[in-house]
Amino acid sequence: MHLSYAVIDLSKLKRNFFNIRKKIKKVKIMAVVKADAYGHGIRETAGFLSSLGDKKPEYFAVAFPDEAVELRKAGIKEPILVFEPFTRNQVNDLFRYNLIASVFAREHIRILKQDQKKFGKKKIKVHIKINTGMNRLGINHKKAFDFIKKIDNDGDFVIDGIYTHFANSEETNKSFPGLQIKRFNDLLRKLEANNIKTGLKHAANSGAILDLPESYYDMVRPGILMYGYYPSLETSESIRLEPVMSIISKVSSKTEIQMGDTVSYGRKFTAKKKIKIISVPLGYADGFSRGLSNKSYAIIRGKKYQQIGTVSMDRIMFNINNDNIKVGDKVIILGDEKNKKITAWDWCRTLNTIPYEVMCVIGKRIERIYKK
371 class by beta-carbon count within 10 Å (0-12 exposed, 13-18 middle, 19+ buried): exposed
Spatial distance between the Cα atoms of 241 and 43, rounded to a whole number of angstroms: 22
Question: Which among 142, 143, 265, 273 is annotated as catalytic?
Answer: 265
The predicted pLDDT at position 2 comes to 82
Q: Do the domains 245-371 and 10-220 match in fold?
A: no
Burial tier of 317 (Cβ tally within 10 Å: 0-12, 13-18, 19+):
buried
Segments in the chain forming alpha helices (H): 10-24, 34-39, 42-50, 65-73, 91-96, 106-116, 144-153, 175-193, 206-211, 344-351, 355-360
Measured distance CA(207)–CA(215) in Å, rounded: 11
Active site residue 113: no
Q: Which residues pair with 296 in a beta bridge?
A: none
Beta partners for 263?
Answer: 269
245-371 belongs to CATH 3.40.50.1980: no
Domain boundaries, the chain: 10-220, 245-371
- Determine the pLDDT at residue 1: 65
Question: Does the annotation mark 216 as catalytic?
Answer: no
pLDDT tens for the chain, 372 residues long, are 689 999 999 999 999 999 999 999 999 999 999 999 999 999 999 999 999 999 999 999 999 999 999 999 999 999 999 999 998 889 999 999 999 999 999 999 999 988 787 777 778 999 999 999 999 999 999 999 999 999 999 989 999 999 999 999 999 999 999 999 999 999 999 999 999 999 999 999 999 999 999 999 999 999 999 999 999 999 999 999 999 999 999 999 999 999 999 999 999 999 999 999 999 999 999 999 999 999 999 999 999 999 999 999 999 999 999 999 999 999 999 999 989 999 999 999 999 999 999 999 999 999 999 999
Q: Tell me the one-letter amino acid at 302.
A: G
- List the catalytic residue out of 23, 34, 125, 129: 34
Asked if 309 contacts 293 with a C-beta cutoff of 8 angstroms, the reply is: yes
What b/e sequence results for 13-26 when a residue is b if at least 16 CB atoms lie within 10 Å of its CB, and e otherwise? bbbbbebbbebbee
| Distance in angstroms between the alpha carbons of the first and the last residue of the chain | 22
The architecture (CATH level 2) of 10-220 comes to Alpha-Beta Barrel (3.20)
